Chain A
């Protein structure tokens, strides 16, 4: 016996035994119908998604030229002379940066407070439903709300004043600030979820060493949920990049980024401009419709950005490992022909 245990096993088993395929033919009819309906819906959705991607790809790729990324939009009725979308690209970056810089600390802080302190209870409950409300408000409502707030005279420093003194309430700063409200619930939600999933013994371990709650949050809990924080931020970026209403309302009518007078960088932030979404809208047949081909190209770029962001989230939340998705493995579950 001892000798048998000590002997090294063969390098590989002689043959791999697989379980037989499960057949649906033995199932009740209702179960089989339900099963096929699930398949049909899933495949239908995939088909729609594939159609969107393919359509945008075909429409967009034919107009997409490297020069579009480096040329500013030019006012022209002829599509060939209307320039590229450098400014909208830069505009998207600026709005996203402002939105995330405002939303990330706030979202993380609120989530940490709510899940680690949460006292007094009425305040916690109020904060929670406030965030749910913000998450549920359509962005066009946020946009018009922003228009009212930021056209107040004392907030004039965030945008520009017209000659007769009214505040325009259209600038990168204003749009970014309202965009922060879009991203906030997503960052809050991801942080809170991640904190809730941390085992309680991590907190106890830190308290038992005589650490305060705030030290525990800062040194133990937040570093432990870095993937959660990152995916919340990426979700927030995706939301901001894709929003149109706020840009149309709060970033002005210009396709080119028009800095306000004054300090260079601050001038840009206080000035008007456009993002990819507003560029698509204005150039499409729904807007002024001068350059539909370029709208398709920009829409394609926008879609690629959002898809990349979504893939990043998937990667982050699966702990850095790729999902290991093998499309062919799905065929094992093919319902027909069993």
Chain B
């Protein structure tokens, strides 16, 4: 098997730049040393599905006829050049496209078989949470950031919002643990979130998104503003989470897609060009455009 072009880029780099890659690496025998092959998830089941989805901003159709499944137990990576509609597709999954004026949609998106337009929008967004390209912690303490996600929309009568009950504190700590942040901040939950480093802020955002126990987690280039070490931490986190939550990640970084994803969808100019397991898309792309993109001919 000839090494795929994406590997060649990795080889050209300093070998230790992406050193902590080993644990998340290696869906493919050829790419990973023996023994580090990623264990497949025990159960894989479909949670969301887009069916002949078209999305537009105004007159401009930016996603054209895309059909994709989103499964729990695996990571789906969306790759493609800028303007290929990846982010729009991602944002449509929890109806965040709607906050842009003039957004339109055709086709179906379902969550567990139910059309997402039939769900109350905030209910949907609690079940399908999102982490953005730029870390966006709220200007409050670490604790309040996570507790904010946990606060009920309508608190029971007579109870103050975000009161620090032991249960709430436990839930916040759990979320921070899952995001691998709790040890780093040494339990100092009252620190202002904006005092954290960029990588820590992004993991706080992931913790915040995880706190409310979402069923699907959407990641929009979560590492593009981060250094390689923070990136590696977050990648490990993503792969570790795929058992409990379905994950969709948009990335410009092909190596990252290869490192974390089980399935890869390549989009170009709004169309879904190729979809398959990452081995298939990176090793044996069936479409010439995919081959060109992953070898760096354009994009």
Seen from chain A, the residues whose Cβ lies within 8 Å of a Cβ on chain B are: 199, 201-212, 215, 219-220, 223-224
Contact = CB atoms under 8 A, between A and B. Distances in A.
B148 A209 contact: yes
B294 interface: no
B132 A201 contact: yes
Given A202-B138, A215-B153, A224-B139, A209 B208 contact: yes
A210 B212 contact: yes
Of B129, B139, B208, the most chain A CB neighbours within 10 A belong to B139
Interface of B: 94, 96, 99, 122-127, 129-132, 134, 136-140, 148-149, 151, 153, 161, 205, 208-209, 212, 218
Contacts of B136: 199, 201-202, 204-205
Given A207-B99, A207-B125, A209-B212, A223 B132 contact: no
A201 B151 CA distance: 20
A204 B122 contact: no
A146 B153 CA distance: 42
Contacts of B212: 209-210
A259 B127 CA distance: 60
5 contacts: A201-B132, A201-B134, A204-B130, A207-B96, A223-B139
Nearest to A214: B153
Question: 4 nearest interchain CB pairs?
Answer: A210-B126, A210-B125, A208-B130, A205-B136
Contacts of B139: 223-224
A208 to B, nearest CB: 4
In this complex, the member of B99, B138, B149, B209 whose beta carbon has the largest number of chain A beta carbons within 10 angstroms is B138
Contacts of B151: 219
Contacts of B209: 208-209
Nearest to B161: A219
B140 A209 contact: no
B143 to A, nearest CB: 14
Contacts of A223: 139-140
B99 A219 contact: no
Contacts of A224: 138-139
Contacts of A203: 99
Contacts of B94: 208
A199 B130 CA distance: 17
Contacts of A219: 148, 151, 161
Contact of A209 (B129, B134, B161): B129
Contact of A210 (B124, B138, B140): B124
A205 B132 contact: yes
Contacts of B132: 201, 204-205, 208
Given A205-B208, A207-B125, 9 more contacts: A201-B134, A202-B136, A204-B96, A205-B136, A208-B209, A209-B149, A210-B153, A211-B153, A219-B161
B126 A209 contact: yes
Contacts of A206: 138, 148
B122 A211 contact: yes
Contacts of A207: 96, 99, 125
Nearest to B95: A207
Contacts of A215: 153
A23 B130 CA distance: 56
Contact of B125 (A199, A201, A202, A208): A208
A311 B123 CA distance: 46
A8 to B, nearest CB: 25
Most chain B beta-carbon neighbours within 10 Å: one of A204, A205, A208, A220: A208
Contacts of B96: 204, 207-208
Contacts of B208: 205, 209
A331 to B, nearest CB: 38
Contacts of B99: 203-204, 207
Contacts of A201: 132, 134, 136
A312 B154 CA distance: 38
A203 B127 CA distance: 18
Contact of B129 (A199, A202, A208, A212): A208
B138 A220 contact: yes
Contacts of B124: 210
B116 to A, nearest CB: 13
A147 to B, nearest CB: 44
